[in-house]
Amino acid sequence: MRPRPSANASKGVVAIVGAGPNLGRSVARNICDLLINSGALHARPPALALAANLSRLADEIAWEAKAQVFAIRIDCADPKSVREAFEGVLSLGFVEVLVYNACTRIPSQPTRLADISVESFEKSLAVSAVGAFHSAQQVIPGMVERGKGTIIFTGCSASVTGFAGYSELSCGKFALRGLSQCLAREFQQAGVHVAHVVIDGAIGAPGYVSCPCGKHLYVGDVRTINYLQFK
């Protein structure tokens, strides 16, 4: 659903790129609760722009969190698609928070290097890192102009450790971590906070889930670890 230009153009927007039924949904709901309870957006219901093909999910989150939620189509591997998606986002207002949570589907089993196609490898890099680069370019100028803003990149175990058979995932996530460190140092003095948050485990349906690192976690008990590498 493409949002129409609004008279509330001065309203802060939370843009979540890559909003799925698990982590993306939880991030959206928690951000809504945080902003509403703290009055961070002038005590008004926050507007969320979910950059994904998930209109139904957007409607569900809007009902659960009592917030304005819009679903906007995006292909994170396509710079033009990212640019057009953020045109829709910015028509709602300025982006106060950007959460980049996009990633290609993680295979349930390791993939041998010889079995990975060039096209698949390049797309994984594009979605994990290049899409994050283009998304950041769309929102950082406005954040710098206002002197504040927050960008959160979501990582995983493969962001800091390479696992046999997961070259596609690790390379994209390593690149994303590098991008986040560069942006954090470049824009810290401008008032823009950039964080790379690693969830050391997999997220799925209730019950046991597994991940490349071999860890098994209950969804309701996922440990969030911030790798503090920015000084």
CATH number assigned to the domain comprising residue 134: 3.40.50.720
- Say whether pLDDT at 18 is over 60: yes
- Say whether pLDDT at 33 is over 70: no
What percentage of the chain exceeds 90 in pLDDT?
27
Domain assignment present for residue 106? The answer is: yes
Helix (H) or strand (E) holding 90: helix 79-90
Number of domains in the chain: 1
Task: Please give the pLDDT value at position 2.
Answer: 42
Domain assignment present for residue 181? The answer is: yes
Average pLDDT, the chain: 73
Q: Cβ distance 205 to 222 under 8 Å?
A: no
Write out pLDDT tens, residues 137-192.
Answer: 999 999 999 999 999 998 888 888 888 988 888 899 999 999 999 999 999 999 99
Segment 49-63 shows an average pLDDT of 61
Q: Among the ranges 45-49, 71-75, 194-198, which has the highest mean pLDDT value?
A: 194-198
Task: Please give the pLDDT value at position 38.
Answer: 32
Domain assignment present for residue 1? The answer is: no
Amino acid residing at 87: E
Domain assignment present for residue 43? The answer is: yes
Determine the distance from the C-alpha atom of residue 43 to the mean position of all C-alpha atoms in its chain, rounded to a whole number. Answer: 24
Verdict on whether the full-model pTM lies above 0.85: no
Q: Cβ distance 16 to 24 under 8 Å?
A: yes
User: CA-CA distance, 68 to 135, in Å (whole number)?
Assistant: 21
Segment 5-32 shows an average pLDDT of 63
Provide the terminal-to-terminal Cα distance of the chain, rounded to the nearest Å: 40
Residue 44 vs residue 115, higher pLDDT: 115
Residue 4 vs residue 193, higher pLDDT: 193
Domain assignment present for residue 32? The answer is: yes
Q: Assign residue 61 a region (left: φ > 0; alpha: ψ between -120 and 50; beta: otherwise).
A: alpha
Q: Which range is least confidently modeled, 58-67, 81-90, 221-230?
A: 221-230
- Say whether pLDDT at 41 is over 60: no
Q: Which two tokens stand for residue 152?
A: 């959160």
Domain assignment present for residue 84? The answer is: yes
- Say whether pLDDT at 5 is over 50: no
Name the packing angle between helices 55-65 and 23-38 (round to 10°).
Answer: 30
Task: Please give the pLDDT value at position 166.
Answer: 86
Domain assignment present for residue 4? The answer is: no
Task: Please give the pLDDT value at position 43.
Answer: 29
- Structural domain of 207: 13-226
Domain assignment present for residue 231? The answer is: no
Q: Which range is least confidently modeled, 10-14, 86-90, 189-193?
A: 10-14
Residue 213 vs residue 66, higher pLDDT: 66
Task: Please give the pLDDT value at position 80.
Answer: 92
